[in-house]
Structure 1
Amino acid sequence: MSTPKRCFVVMGFGIKTDLATGRKLNLDKSYQALIKPVVEAKGMTCIRADEIKHSGPIDLQMFQQLFSADLVIADLSTSNLNAFYELGIRHALKPHTTIIISEAQMAYPFNIQNLTIKNYTHLGDSIDYFEVLRFQQLLGETIDQVVNQANTDSPVYTLLNGLVPPSLQEQARMVVEEIDAAITAGSDVEETANDSSNSSLATLTREGELALKQKDFDAAKSFFDTALRLSDKEIDLNENSHNTYLIQRLALATYKAARPDYISALKAALNLLSKIDLGRTNDPETVAMAGSIEKHLYEEGQGDAHLENAILYYQRGYYLLHNRHNGVNLAYLLHCRSLSSTLDPSREEQIADLVWANRFRRDVLMLCDRDAANNLKRETMASGADTVSKEQGELLNEQKFWILVNKAEAHYGLGEMPEYEAAAMAASKVLHEDWMMESFTRQLQKLGKLLEKPNLHPQ
């Protein structure tokens, strides 16, 4: 039996932030929905760097794939620096069989504007069903053209006439073939969660995400900790690390696991996030998580300094993304500060915080209307499809629920009770998990206690 052709996919993994737009993109969804099934339907082996078991230096394996893969697909979404670097290597090594793709809102650097780039539209957590169908067809047709016609697609070989592609000496070729055989064999083996010491990065992160979804936070913490150490074998968690996604997920699992107790876990999670340079980062996911942790520490009676920190993080996240989540939390925290005699010692400062809190709530209501309209468009498109994935249906319902509870909380904070009751009732009728309504109820109870207190110092 002949060895199938091999496609190496160059891209980030996990949830990455596009700093140009502030949006979070789940790149695993791009890989799993748009790329891998199309490649495998062509009878090719499809592999991404995080699916390679680290039996040797990952750089050697990556270079080997870039040199010998029959096809390379490079997804440049979120302007991933590693992806650009690896694409440059591929263009230097091979004159053809390279395809470039990216999310539609990516801002292209000047040097690649003349290259052919196939675009897809990402919704952040998921990709629209019709967009999956459209792009799968487009990518399939592009693969057929690139593999069968072998036209030069590397700007290096296009501009430097007569350049001869490199070749390997015999000894190096044998090493490459051994690595390639191990990778190809490994890609056909189903890995188990119990064999984490010999698992690929993709398997560890996949199991970690599954554990988070199942609320098994201890297991998730273990998976992401192992994945982080595997991602950089020389990592020291007392030093800076740039593996933002894995640190974020480990921090989330850490404080959700609440070991050895909730407050200790919150502080440990915050310490993990500090490795992403909290003082300067513009990554909205990191900032929002830090704000949430500081908010919980304040609510657990750990001092007003945590309230100030939470406000600073949510402010930064709000101005980066201008979204409902950061806005409604910022309004709540400003309301908390207005009642603190240590942080707002004067009547004027109290009034200022209350005014800003209600302005943010008004803004949240506008954002709720915008997001509800967009979600309705996706629901309408999905209702007209013969087949819609269960996952996409769940995401549409989840988005609808959070839009409604954010709307309800904003109205409640503004004292608009009929509007609050209508939004809360609508949210209760949307299919949702129990913890989602419990989270909303707890937040509303905290806000209700704030509203019961005298808001202003006496004149």
Structure 2
Amino acid sequence: MDCFVIRGFGEKKDSGGELIDFDMVDRELIKPAMEKCGLVGGTTAIVQGSGPIHQDMFQLILRAAVVICDITVHNPNVFYELGVRHALRKKYTVLIKGTPSNDRAPFDIAGLRYMEYSWADPGKDVEKLIDVINAAQALDRETDSPIFLMMPKLQQADSRSIGAVPPSFTQEVQLARSRKDKGWLRLLAEDVRGEIFEREGLRLVGREQWALKDFKVAARTWKEVLAGDKGDVEANHALANVYERLYKIHGDPADLERSNLAIQNLLAGQNLLSAQHAEALALRGRNLKTLWRLDFANLDTQEERRERAIDTRARDAYDAYREAYRVDLNHFFPGLAALQMGHILKSLSMSTRFKNLFAGIERRASRYLEDLEDNLAALTHIVKAATERGCAMLLGDDLIWARIAAADLLFLDRLDDAPGADYSVVVDAYRDAVPKGTFFWDAARGQLELFEQLGIGVPAAQAVFRAFDEPITVAVESRGTPTKKIERHLVIFSGHNVDRTGATLYTPRFPASEQGRARALIEAALKQLNDEADDCSVLVSAAPGADILALEACQSLGIKTWLCLPMSRDIVASEVFKDYDIDWRNRFFALADAQPLGRTFVLSDDAGLPQWLFKHSMTPWSRGNRWMLHQAQAWGANKVTLLALWDHNKGDMSPNGTAEMLRLAENAGGVYVRVIDSRSLTAN
């Protein structure tokens, strides 16, 4: 979570002449407390400039999730910046005041809470500040700003209005999505931390992580977005969806509860647009539907599923969707969902058990069905009108959803068709509306699967599945014990470069004359790892030395390799191989050319780091190492191993080398490490 500190700089005197060292206070009190609270940020050199506050300063004050402000002395700049914060953001502004001080808090903020600390020994109050910061977030008061206290209807500024995302960052996000590279998106979420556009950058990444079904990591990304503003509508909406999906996959009740809490946060928000309010209520209905559906999804027969589906949660979900649609009749999704659940209830009513939903009272069940028939007729007309309006006026993803809704309505119209009917109009509607292989198709397919499982409209559903090359009997996500999987083992390879010809400035580590022995060691280790798994793949870069030898060994052993280059092939060849024997360059080209189509990943087409990262001290190779590790973690393998040819020199602090890759793997968790001792290559 990002934090900004408003304070004086250097030594300042209070009105009694006491000299207070605010840099020491920052060093011994504020920074340690921030670190313990997981806050990132602080002051910048911009603050120290003379003249008016820069635009960047206003952006930092507005963007920060938490502001810590030191009001020990009467510093005009400090109080001006505090006033800006109080006018822009409702809460999470923590005031601290050194004691003793001859400067009293000004009248305008005299009634506000502040934490006292000893400016002579600020380090002793670190735990106290930690408690205050945590309490400010945990209590989550409506506001700690005197401005918003006096004017409760005033709307705080939207932090999304500042910190515009650089085009170069947006382009990276788009490229990562186009290549379906979950690891790249994870890298971007890591690299954007601390940037002035952090929250908006994370927002872009979170959307694409959802699209690529990287749900666990998407939840983490959206939680970081939400940390900056707990009322963020999109973040709460995203978390409601992500946690519901995680519940469907893993069956952890805590995930569904997290989804429900996100929905509660949405509904508790002030001044929601009608469409947002309707969407939040629809999500509540969706969660009820998920609980209901998973209760029968894994039963073997249609009869068993239909009997188990007769449950009050089906009726509750239908009612929740109808309530959501009443809030905004133009928001067709909850209306369509209500129609779908209504048709399911109508079909289930053919069972003698249906009356049990009404305490076994036949008259109440009959009255409910009469009302249901009337409501379905009315809903059909209204939802069709809203969907037609959406197809005519919406753009982008919203237009796709509208067209899918139109196809769903055609499907509902054909539920009672006789066997052998022509369903081509339904099939064509889905084919024209749904981009195949996308989340849109997953959503449309999921609803059709539900009808098929319950024996409703089966011929029409199966006709659509055939058109999309789906199995007629579609498997559902299971919460039970999974069947035994083929073990997929992913190996990340890292190793030292070969010693450069004629270099005398460092101790020999990998003499070129020993590449035969190094190749034998690498090949033996790779063969053992390959023999231990049914399916083994290797992620490897292409630096001259161990990387090239690993690629050649995999080629010899028939192990699949994925070549990961931080820059394009030609740039790597010119930048990396220029100081080495020409043979290494030629071997690199040969191996790169031999890679099957789609098995070479390139992080950047240009030399150096992306433009948006120009302030950072990382290198393309250090970033490439982190990218490879994120790729491995997102791969979906049963086991991930880092295989490293390493000299055991823990003092090697190069950000590009094998020692750093080992440190990254150790910190990542879940990555096995196997080391090939390269010291034997220089032993006498």
TM-score by length of 2: 0.31
Higher helix share: 1
**Higher RCO (CA < 8 A, seq sep 6+):** 1
TM-score by length of 1: 0.43
